[in-house]
Chains A and B, each alone.
Chain A
Amino acid sequence: MKYSTLRLISGAFIIVGILLSQSLLLRFCITVFIIILASNSGRKFRLLPNLILLVTISFAHTFSPYGLVIFSIGSYPITLGALSIGANKAFLLISFIYASHYMMSSRPQIPGKLGAIISLQFYYFDRLTTNWHQIEKKRPLIGAIDQLLLGIEKDIDGQPIKPTETRYVVKKDIFIHIFHISIIILLLLIFSDKAKSIFPFIALLP
């Protein structure tokens, strides 16, 4: 088995893990873990853009108040429930972006035509999420989008994207990836309803 294929499989497990997670704290833990994995495979992590993303999405959701009022700006209530729904979405998004990088970092070749398109799709998606802040700064909008798209296209321009990791899997790799997946499973188990009934203190967490 090729190394990139192993990456792809474990990445798929991790994405399923993200989709299964529900509580805010669990989402947060998984996000942190995935960011660590992605930075290990070469994706730069900068705190500020992610923090801005988290804060803006959270506050955007306070339009419909829900839950405990933490504080009010004038007569506009900032509620805990609405914030946490927004934060939940933001974590899902951030973890998804980094997970797709983790999965695609060694350019896996998924078999078949559809597989090739999907793997390229995630590659471009990864590029879009790394470069999209260019759009925000520049005006006019369409010119900025143009630049972004032209920039991404220039990278490939006719030649197929070569796998960066062409070596085959050794025993150590398998252990490492099983370790990655089992941490996700462990996190899911800790926050599951069963665990709550065995260790009641978990239920007290948000």
Chain B
Amino acid sequence: MKKLTFIDIFIFILFLTISVLSFTLYTNVSGKPEVHITSGDKEWVYDLSVDTIASFEGPIGNTTIEISNNRVHIYSSDCKNQIGILSGWIDKPGEWLSCLPNNVFILIKGQQKIAQAEETDDISF
């Protein structure tokens, strides 16, 4: 039982393939970065290069984010474990922050590349 078997390796490769595939899904995102915030069904967008402080209401209370110097972080949140705050600052497209208890999700998206991808889609179909 101690040695790894063929099936072990097979499951490992399956897992690895899915992980790598999921990785390629979003790494081709770049361009002018925007901060997208989703809470429930609503979505907000801010420019990453403009300093802002904004507050969002979720099921528990308020989650406040701060954008400064082309970076964004969760400034405060009314949740218990404060994991979102501990995550610190993010500044690259594709990076994200979240406050799970308060259902707030913050994601930096690159604007141009996504638009390009849509264009190519239009052409190819």
Contact = CB atoms under 8 A, between A and B. Distances in A.
A85 B80 CA distance: 9
Nearest to B80: A22
Contact of A82 (B80, B81, B86, B87): B86
A64 B88 contact: yes
Interface in A61-83: 61, 64-66, 81-82
Interface residues of A, number: 8
A82 B86 CA distance: 8
Contacts of A65: 88
A166 to B, nearest CB: 40
B80 A66 contact: no
Q: Which of B81, B86, B87, B88 has the most CB of A within 10 A?
A: B86
Interface in B36-72: none
Interface in A16-59: 22
B108 interface: no
Interface string B70-94: 0000000000111001111000000
Contacts of B81: 85
A107 to B, nearest CB: 33
Contacts of A66: 82, 85-86
- Chain B interface category by residue count: under 10
A205 B81 CA distance: 19
A81 B87 CA distance: 13
A51 to B, nearest CB: 23
Nearest to A84: B82
B96 to A, nearest CB: 16
A53 B68 CA distance: 37
Contacts of B85: 66, 81
Q: Which of A22, A64, A65 has the most CB of B within 10 A?
A: A64
Nearest to B82: A85
B65 to A, nearest CB: 15
A64 B87 contact: yes
A177 B87 CA distance: 42
Nearest to A61: B86
Nearest to A85: B82
Contacts of B82: 66, 81, 85
Interface of A: 22, 61, 64-66, 81-82, 85
10 contacts: A22-B80, A64-B86, A64-B88, A66-B85, A66-B86, A81-B82, A82-B86, A85-B81, A85-B82, A85-B86
Given A64-B87, A85-B81, 4 more contacts: A64-B86, A81-B82, A81-B85, A82-B86
